[in-house]
Homo-oligomer: A and B are copies of this chain.
Amino acid sequence: MGDAEQISVGIVGASGYGGVQLVRLLQDHPNVKIVYLGGDSSAGKPFYTLYPHLSHCIDLMVEPIDLDHIASQCQVVFLSLPNGLALKMAPQLLEKGCKVLDLSADYRFFNLDTYKKWYGSERDDKEIASTAVYGLPELYRDRISQAQLIGCPGCYVTASLLALSPLLKQGLIATDSAIIDAKSGTSGGGRQAKTNLLHSEADNAISAYGVAGHHRHTPEIEQICSDLAGHDLKVQFTPHLIPMARGILATVYATLRDPGLVREDLITIYTAFYRNSPWVKVLPSGTYPQTKWASGTNLCYLGVEVDQRTNRVIVMSVIDNLIKGQAGQGVQCLNLMMGWDETLGLPKLSFYP
């Protein structure tokens, strides 16, 4: 495909980590040309003043956010903004003919009451919201292919759901038995300066937060788990902040319904479930994933273990929180929406160590 055939893409909210990951990934994407970068606080500056290391590959200015202008320039728009802003922009952009991929929470919920409870905003865009597709390709690949509006999943949610989906889909675990103990690098907190995210505070330290169902990713995980299981269920989700910049490990525990299942059975089931999912790698028996393996890639590595003493399955899931957990997953959805190969333009080889 020559340059003439590249699609035009814009990114609204280009200055944060989601934005810079999108720029990074889309610069390397053969079928995409970035034509617009938008932001409020940095409007009027060259993008490379925010990220000087990219000065050799991108010379776009950050522009003010003007929806008419954006729609006139872009076939596809990524929204990478704080929660509550995309819902004001997506309807107009869609109406003007853009495809929209939103990285915030605004279009993740099937039920807007849940959204309101956790995120606070009233919604005027209910009809539009009902057309949004949840952007986890491993579960909703077909719908994503047909969608005009994607609500991309949260980072913790992605790691958790890829670990749990085969179990839930097949009805292998006891209802409400799932416990997700998740550990995230600090970039998950974004580029806004917050005291608890300072290097001097976060280095050499680990702590839990949002314990006992108080993290916003809990209802999002439960929504999709319930969809997979075919009935409402609850999960225990505990996020932790650990001293590394990138990566998430979710360690997931659940009680097996069938005490006869062994590790190799589960690995077979997982391997089959993800047979057509190029971005999920089920590890061989006895191998457990490390976050650094996924760093800088769109991959999810899954390690599966069974404890026959306790009759529990333990699944370890690692992703790069900013790629498979955010921008890369958005690009994966874009590939599907455009009818391209799901792997197009996305990194699959980490630099190690």
Count of chain A residues with a beta carbon within 8 Å of a chain B beta carbon: 88
A191 in the interface (beta carbon within 8 A)? yes
What CA separation (Å) do A134 and B350 show in the bound complex?
29
Contacts of A209 in B (CB 8 A): 288
Of the candidates B246, B253, B281, B349, the one whose C-beta lies within 8 Å of that of A204 is B246
A141 in the interface (beta carbon within 8 A)? no
Contacts of A181 in B (CB 8 A): 181, 251, 253
B251→A208 contact, CB < 8 A: yes
Contacts of A55 in B (CB 8 A): 281, 284
Of the candidates B236, B251, B287, the one whose C-beta lies within 8 Å of that of A240 is B251
What CA separation (Å) do A207 and B317 show in the bound complex?
10
Interface segment out of the listed A73-81, A89-97, A194-202: A194-202
Shortest Cβ gap from A213 to chain B (Å): 5
Given the known interface contacts A208-B316, A281-B56, the answer about A199 and B191 at a Cβ–Cβ threshold of 8 Å is no
B249→A240 contact, CB < 8 A: yes
B186→A199 contact, CB < 8 A: yes
Contacts of A305 in B (CB 8 A): 211-212
What CA separation (Å) do A350 and B23 show in the bound complex?
11
